[in-house]
Chain A
Amino acid sequence: KAGVTQTPRYLIKTRGQQVTLSCSPISGHRSVSWYQQTPGQGLQFLFEYFSETQRNKGNFPGRFSGRQFSNSRSEMNVSTLELGDSALYLCASSPGTSGIQETQYFGPGTRLLVL
């Protein structure tokens, strides 16, 4: 099975712009989660989608949003970029039906640099 794929792998934007990141989960997985990784804050949960519905959301401002399509692919969008949004954005997928025992499988991430 192909793993989780994320595009693009690298992105450079300037303050005030917006950005869209894409994630394709493992075939058959219906849950997609997004995490932000920074040296200062570590790995922080952004949100989780299942069957096109957001089931859970982390503590991030409304500038961070996401969606999921009927084929389980997901996108996240960050509007009005700030310097502090520079980070590695990781997407993870899982079946989404077995609760806390499920393993989340991560993609390689998209590295975003905001100048």
Chain B
Amino acid sequence: GDSVTQMEGPVTLSEEAFLTINCTYTATGYPSLFWYVQYPGEGLQLLLKATKADDKGSNKGFEATYRKETTSFHLEKGSVQVSDSAVYFCALSDRHDYKLSFGAGTTVTVRA
């Protein structure tokens, strides 16, 4: 079945550091891939997405490239801020069933 594997957290960084969160997936078809972010006490917000191989999603300084050959969708940001502290979820949508399969989430804390 479909599955998403994210790097274990928590991740603690200093402001202006480089952030990478690894995400790999297993799917039967050609899924769409998403990164969602969850701030404390809130629901999930879409951060970015990519719907086909080699697509790059980007938003708020975050980027991720859909790599079919390595089945990966790693999230990166060049210079993090304290406001980027949150839990980040990698997810995929496959088989046209409107079901998202999520990774376990990675907690990121950015210190001033």
- Measured CB to CB, the residues of A under 8 A from B are 4, 6, 31, 33, 35, 42-43, 45, 48, 50, 55-56, 58, 90, 92, 94, 96, 99-109
Contact = CB atoms under 8 A, between A and B. Distances in A.
Contacts of A42: 102-105
Please indicate which of the listed interface residues A48, A56, A96, A103 has the most CB atoms of chain B within 10 Å of its own CB: A103
Contacts of A104: 46, 98, 100
Interface string B80-112: 000000000100011111111111110000000
- A contacts with B: majority SS: strand
A103 B34 contact: yes
Nearest to B100: A104
A109 B101 CA distance: 18
Contact of A55 (B94, B98, B100): B98
A94 B96 CA distance: 13
Interface of B: 31-32, 34, 36, 42-46, 49, 51, 89, 93-105
Given A103-B49, A109-B43, A58 B98 contact: no
Nearest to A43: B102
A100 B31 contact: yes
